[in-house]
Amino acid sequence: MKEISISSLLDSMSDTGNYADDIWKTCLDEKRKRYKRKDINNSLKKLEILGFIKKIKITNTDEYYDKLSYPNPEDYAGFVNNIMFSNESQIKKALKKLESKRVFEDISKDLNSYKLGSRGKIDYEKLLDAFSNLMELASAILLVKETSSNEKLKKSLKVCYNEIKETLDQTNDALLVGRKSNEIILIERRFAGRIPNKGYLKL
């Protein structure tokens, strides 16, 4: 999966009044080429979820984005904790429902052909989405830690990052226990494909 830099998105924006079409025109990849419009739109939604920007809706067809700032570092740390709690809860629920259910069925010998198990498909997709959300939150946390000069915020975010890492390690252990080797390989592949580099979002 391709990625987009959070910094490049934010650098393409003013503090206020940023329209998606303008960001699409100015935010370029490493080869100085434009991203797909849908990738920019999806990335803006993620930036909003991660607390970097806020969407301002004027009419049903007219909307723009403003950058968010946090004069009080505890406000951002609290925001991050809310995202963590929401996704950790979703992971726990999905794991509980996936107990004793096969994630993949009809797996070919070369592992290139398979289908999601009918009984666990919905819960597995919810688990994967929550995992992705936490990984991109971790990516954003590392970026903010690197660019922030506020030591109190950096200390709080380090605690958050360590908790995310612990949650994901526990998720991996709980999901893989008792499964056959071919299913484990497929699960690990799909999870690995959702992990962005530091400061990036998956497209």
pLDDT in tens, 68-109: 988 888 899 999 999 999 999 999 999 998 887 888 887 888
Q: What value does the mean pLDDT take over residues 157-176?
A: 93
Question: Tell me, what DSSP letter sits at residue 120?
Answer: T
pLDDT in tens, 32-61: 999 999 999 999 999 999 999 999 999 888
Question: Tell me, what DSSP letter sits at residue 60?
Answer: S
Please count the other Cβ atoms lying within 10 Å of the Cβ belonging to residue 86: 13
Question: Tell me, what DSSP letter sits at residue 16?
Answer: S
pLDDT of residue 29: 92
- d(CA 3, CA 155) in angstroms, rounded, equals 27
Give me the phi and psi of 20, to 5 degrees please: -55, -40
pLDDT of residue 1: 66
Q: What value does the mean pLDDT take over residues 20-39?
A: 95
